[in-house]
Amino acid sequence: MSLPQPVRGTHDLLPEDFRRHAHVRNTARDIAARFGYAEMATPIFEFTEVFARTMGETSDVVSKEMYSFEGRSGESMTLRPEYTAGICRSFISNGLQQNVPFKVFANGPMFRYERPQKGRQRQFHQIDIECIGAAEAKADVEVIALGAAILKELGVLDSCSLQLNTLGDRESRQAYRDALVEYFSDFKDKLSEDSLARLHRNPLRILDSKDKGDQALVANAPIFTDYLNDYSTEFFAEVLEGLDMLGIGYELNRRLVRGLDYYTHTAFEFVTTELGSQGAVIAGGRYDGLIEALGGKPTPGIGWAGGIERLALLARDIPEGPRPVAIVPVGAEAEAVALKLAHELRLEGISVEMAFKGNVGKRMKRANKLNARAAILIGEDELVRNACTFRDLDQGTQEEVPLSSLRAALSNLG
């Protein structure tokens, strides 16, 4: 019988992996709080309609990648493939329209049926930032600056480039859609099956196509900036001015798009070359039509999502966990005293490791393996004197310390 394995596309977060993930999450949470973004969470599954409405029936995520199932009452449910739609649904269903700007940070697992590869799994984890209810370009600048601050704190920013584009307002976008339909209609016989299906429903998605034949056509397709009206041009100029003021570098990428109709104005990605083809570590944009698409009142918004797996692979200087103090009892009477002492120290906030069995040699070997800072040895002789042998494992020194003075000795450790 073969040994049990995790489901393909999923992976166990063992303690070392979890520590790296936690560093990304905690760093993002702390910096988001500095920017005024409070943490929240939504359920890991929603009614399928939440994602179908927001991501579009013709998107790859909805048509090919979602994990959907039928609930006991017959409703179609879907494990969340991304966070934005659920947060916007929460904004509507909880009546938060009076709380704008609604600025939140979230993190958790997402689910997509994709080909597993480095930095991409079928169950993966994201950090997420959303700013709902702010129509000003300053909100775009703040959201991007928050992403840059997190990447800098993780030691990742210098290996990333910020790719930036504008999708214009609805008027500009409609003009560009019409131009794309006209252009690609002349090449219907050369378009891939997916792109042909998107031609009239969602032509901007053709620009995202990975099909080589489509990409050859895209190379000569109309450019969005040729269809921007004055308002859209001025809005984007204000975003660029704000980024320049903050010293955040960027590269204009006129082919960077978001294919869904509710996306407007700013689209951006922080991209690295250190993860092969999976280069985007943070991606986002302005979605002024999303709340309306879900049935809410027209409300602007902007946000981004970052892949924790990818960021954990790139992050520098992951802090070590707390180094424990090892308590090593010798003899049955010492075991009881050590158990009580370990409990007291743990309640006082000190990390303590005490093996459940083994001689002194084995217990000290385990203490070294755990990178313990110090060892407290308690035997019959020490008990008579109400003391312990205190061993500084970094300095290689030891001394007998009265148990009443043990806290002072621990506080003096470097």
208, two tokens:
């995202």
Asked if the structure places residue 73 within a domain, the reply is yes
Q: Is 120 left (phi over 0), alpha (psi -120 to 50) or beta?
A: beta
CB 259 within 8 A of CB 205: yes
Domain span including residue 361: 325-411
Q: Number of folded domains in the chain?
A: 2
pLDDT at 229 over 70: yes
C-alpha to C-alpha distances, 307 to 86, 214, 215, nearest whole angstrom: 17, 28, 26
Last residue within a domain, chosen from 295, 314, 333: 314
CATH number at residue 374: 3.40.50.800
- Same domain? 272 vs 342: no
Show the beta-strand stretches assigned E in 12-87. 38-39, 45-47, 68-70, 76-79
Last residue within a domain, chosen from 281, 314, 347: 314
CB 207 within 8 A of CB 218: yes
- At residue 27 the predicted structure's pLDDT band, cuts being 50, 70 and 90, is very high
CATH number at residue 141: 3.30.930.10
CB 116 within 8 A of CB 5: no
pLDDT at 250 over 70: yes
- Same domain? 242 vs 369: no
Asked if the structure places residue 338 within a domain, the reply is yes
Please report, rounded to a whole number, the percentage of residues in the chain having pLDDT higher than 90.
Answer: 65
**Among positive and negative, which fits the CA dihedral 188, 192, 198, 203?**
negative
Q: What is the DSSP string of 256-292?
A: ----STT-EEEEEEEEESTTTT--EEEEEEE-TTHHH
Give, as one character, the DSSP assignment of residue 323: P
- Same domain? 123 vs 163: yes
- Phi, psi dihedrals of residue 126, rounded to the nearest 5°: -135, 150
Question: Per residue in 399-411, pLDDT tens?
Answer: 999 999 999 999 9
Measured CA to CA, the distance from residue 382 to residue 211 in angstroms comes to: 75
- Amino acid 244: pLDDT: 98
- Amino acid 119: pLDDT: 58
Asked if the structure places residue 358 within a domain, the reply is yes
Question: Per residue in 111-154, pLDDT tens?
Answer: 998 776 665 789 999 999 999 999 999 999 999 999 999 999 99
pLDDT at 65 over 90: no
CB 299 within 8 A of CB 287: no
Mean pLDDT of the chain: 90
- Same domain? 52 vs 111: yes
pLDDT at 56 over 90: no
Question: Per residue in 349-367, pLDDT tens?
Answer: 999 999 888 888 898 899 8
Asked if the structure places residue 200 within a domain, the reply is no
pLDDT at 277 over 70: no
- Same domain? 373 vs 277: no
Last residue within a domain, chosen from 252, 281, 314: 314
- Same domain? 257 vs 160: yes
